[in-house]
Chain A
């Protein structure tokens, strides 16, 4: 659903699907020349997966790719993730329009 809103806002969206390792996600982002990675996590594994993803981005010299996340997590985790380099975290209940607006303000797509 988020993907559809993003598409309607004028972004190209690429699903990598569930159960992808951070290395696979980063490789896909590089091959697709993506500017943003959005992670939707429901498993509670965000404090291991997201830092691992950020580290992989550093390893691949791709820290210019912006990372945002969505899902259920405590405020303390949100703060820590942002300190690690996640650009924004959207908790459940955030209107989709807020996400697309945030992306638009950072990247200014057409339309």
Chain B
């Protein structure tokens, strides 16, 4: 199936109203999907729509799932969903894939492995593409989380394909991040991209039934021991996603981590930092768009920039001209 990525305003509605929200809610999963599309497109009505839909919805538990291609991460996501459904959770899976930087299209293949849950009303699965949205990928993810919460989903799994910067962004949005590795790819840990291993709150050794699993477990234990300045060491959980083995333990580890977050003052610090980061990202994205517009419209400024080859020299003048005129100014 395909979604056309039309530029600019393709919004099917003009503004966000309680009537629109009621209509979207009556459409069930499709209404939720339409609201998320509005966020992806950067519609002017999107922020208000998110606010209306998510008002009074409790914050969901957000778990990030990241790992190299071949780690069985998507199968694991499916197994975690099954585990959570068994516990009575309503679960949303947001699968994050980078867009092609050249055309704006995306191949969102994660959905294949999660399809067994397609008919369960308590599961919502959505692919999110980063489309150069204001502020980057994270604001889209955060608003999508608020929207699914507003539609009654209490647990969100954020999954990445493992390309580009999506892992770090997922880790900054998720409360608990699981990094998945699997044996059989030579030196497992070395294959992980720089910085990804360090973001884990939990390490998951998937395909634990394959040969090489013990070796990888030993390598992981050594790696964990080498990490310093942690209030608590990240646990290592072994799973076989295709049989469900260990998946219950994995979720228990998530719940222990969440309990630890709640008990330590660091939890409030993390939440505060997340919110501050998000606010700063929004401002940065807005400023970028405004600066681009100013430069396009002011030929003398552009000529000066081209003559001096020095963006720093025009910084002050550009910054002075930035002016907030309301959410419409973000497009």
Q: Which of A43-101 contact B (CB under 8 A)?
A: 60, 62, 65
Residues of B within 8 A of A34 (CB): 1-3
Contact B107 A7 (CB under 8 A): yes
Interface of A is mostly: mixed
Output the nearest chain A residue to B111 by Cβ-Cβ distance: A14
Residues of B within 8 A of A3 (CB): 107
Partner of A7, one of B6, B29, B100: B100
Q: Does B172 contact A (CB under 8 A)?
A: no
A10 and B103 within 8 A (CB):
yes
Q: Tell me the dominant secondary structure on chain B's binding face.
A: mixed
Beyond A7-B105, A27-B29, whether A14 also contacts B115 by CB under 8 A is no
Interface residues on A, range: 35 or more
For residue B227, CB closer than 8 A to chain A, the reply is no
A38 touches B30 (CB 8 A): no
CB neighbours (8 Å) of B105 from chain A are 6-13
B225 within 8 A of A: no
A62 to B, closest residue via Cβ: B30
B330: interface (CB < 8 Å): no
- Interchain CB contact (< 8 A) of A33 among B30, B102, B115: B30
Taking CB atoms, residues of chain A closer than 8 Å to B208 are none
- Residue B124 interfacial (CB < 8 Å): yes
Question: Which B residues between 113 and 142 are near A, CB-CB below 8 angstroms?
Answer: 113, 115, 118-119, 124-127, 129
Given A28-B115, A31-B33; A12-B5 close (CB under 8 Å) = yes
* Chain A residue at minimum C-beta to C-beta distance from B37: A33
Q: Which residues of B contact A37 (CB under 8 A)?
A: 1
Interface flag for A36 (CB, 8 Å): yes
**How many A-B residue pairs lie within 8 Å, measured between CB atoms?**
130
Q: How many residues of chain B are within 8 Å of chain A by beta carbon?
A: 34
A12 and chain B: residue at smallest CB distance: B3
Contacts A28-B118, A30-B29, A31-B124 known; A107 to B106 CB distance under 8 Å?
A: no
Q: Which residues of A contact B194 (CB under 8 A)?
A: none
Q: With A24-B115, A28-B115, A31-B33 in contact, do A13 and B6 touch (Cβ < 8 Å)? A: no
Contact with A along B87-106 (1 / 0, CB 8 A): 00000000000001011111
By a CB distance below 8 angstroms, the chain B residues around A38 are 1-2
| Interface flags, A1-30, vs B, CB<8A=1, else 0 | 001101111111111110010011101111
| A16 x B112 contact (CB < 8 A) | yes
Which of A9, A10, A37 is packed against the most chain B CB atoms within 10 Å?
Answer: A10
A11-B33 contact given A3-B107, A111-B103, CB 8 Å threshold: no
Chain B residues near A35: list those with CB within 8 A: 2-4
Q: Which residues does chain B contribute within 8 Å of A25, judged by CB atoms?
A: 1
Interface assignment of A110: CB less than 8 Å from any CB of chain B: yes
Q: How far is the CA of A43 from the CA of B35 in the complex (A)?
A: 36
Residue pair B115, A17 in contact (C-beta under 8 Å): yes
8 Å CB contact of B6 from A23, A36, A60, A110: A110
Q: Are B33 and A33 in contact (CB under 8 A)?
A: yes
By a CB distance below 8 angstroms, the chain B residues around A7 are: 100, 103, 105-107
With an 8 A cutoff between CB atoms, is B34 at the interface? yes
Q: Which of B5-56 contact A (CB under 8 A)?
A: 5-7, 29-30, 32-34, 36-37
Q: A38 CA to B2 CA in the complex, in Å?
A: 8
B109 at the interface (CB under 8 A from A): yes
B57 at interface, CB cutoff 8 A: no
Instruction: Please give, as numbers and ranges, the residues of chain B lying within 8 Å of A4 by CB-CB distance.
Output: 107
Q: Which residues of B contact A (CB under 8 A)?
A: 1-7, 29-30, 32-34, 36-37, 100, 102-109, 111-113, 115, 118-119, 124-127, 129
Give me 12 A-to-B residue pairs in the complex whose CB atoms sit less than 8 angstroms apart, sorted by A's number.
A11-B3, A11-B5, A12-B129, A13-B108, A15-B107, A17-B112, A23-B119, A28-B111, A36-B1, A36-B4, A109-B4, A111-B104
Binding site for B on A (CB under 8 A): 3-4, 6-17, 20, 23-25, 27-38, 60, 62, 65, 103, 107-111
